[in-house]
Structure 1
Amino acid sequence: MSAKNRDEHNRWRNITVGFRVSPEENEQINAAVALSGLPKQEYCYRRCLNWDIVVQGNPRVYKALRNQLAAVLTDDVLEWEGRASDLAALLQDSIQPNLLIRKLNVGKEKLAQLYSISYTYKRTKTGSLVRLNRIEGDDR
């Protein structure tokens, strides 16, 4: 007989919970899981139990964030401007605006190289302003 799998609090989880979703809902769930940096199982039960989801910055989270930003700026939309909280809401509600800005400030050169997106952040008297632009001459 195999050994029992226990979590970090020495609990044995032997109950299986499953549910069906549409392909669109699956894409939304997968995007939120990717931005959280958590495994899918942990993300789902934290959301179901209404526990806080604290995004831990790591390379996987940053890659998911870059992919989401590339999806915001499509061929039709070449520029986006707004507050950090608006951008966080547009991407997914699981990422905090201050973490989003911190990750974008650190990796804006990679964002320009890999996805041809320029990023600027400016503080004003009324709040902060985030601007995303598609860099001209990109054939992607």
Structure 2
Amino acid sequence: MKPDEFLNSIYLGDRACKAILLDGWKNEVKIQIDAISRVRGEAWDFYSAEDVVDGFLVFEGVDHISFDPPGNMPNDDFGDIEFLGFEGGRFTVVLDMGFCDEAGTYGSVKTTIRAKAVAIEKPGEEGERIRD
């Protein structure tokens, strides 16, 4: 499945970012999400048969990641996932992730990632990533 099609098959609408792992040796970015659902029709429609609880959205072959604005750690809800296109064997995507600090201030962090591939990983099943 192409990365844009794969990302369109994921529902993160009321889900939260739990962790972000940057692995420089593997050139991967792993975003842990409290639950990842798949969209298997025109809309999500509360389909839960393929839900991955505490799963990771994994970007492979990453050569760029940035956070805008810098300094705030995403730890809350997901907004849009914007697919920007392909260039040089990689695609670029912007994930809108929320943050809330100890004072209760809420904001948004746009995370831009350039990668070769994307997959879902179940906790404890690192060798069996979901790609379709």
Tell me the TM-score normalised to structure 1 length.
0.27
Greater Rg by CA: 1
Higher helix proportion (structure 1 or 2): 1
Tell me which of the two structures has the higher relative contact order, counting C-alpha pairs closer than 8 angstroms and 6 or more residues apart: 2
Higher strand proportion (structure 1 or 2): 2
Tell me the TM-score normalised to structure 2 length.
0.29
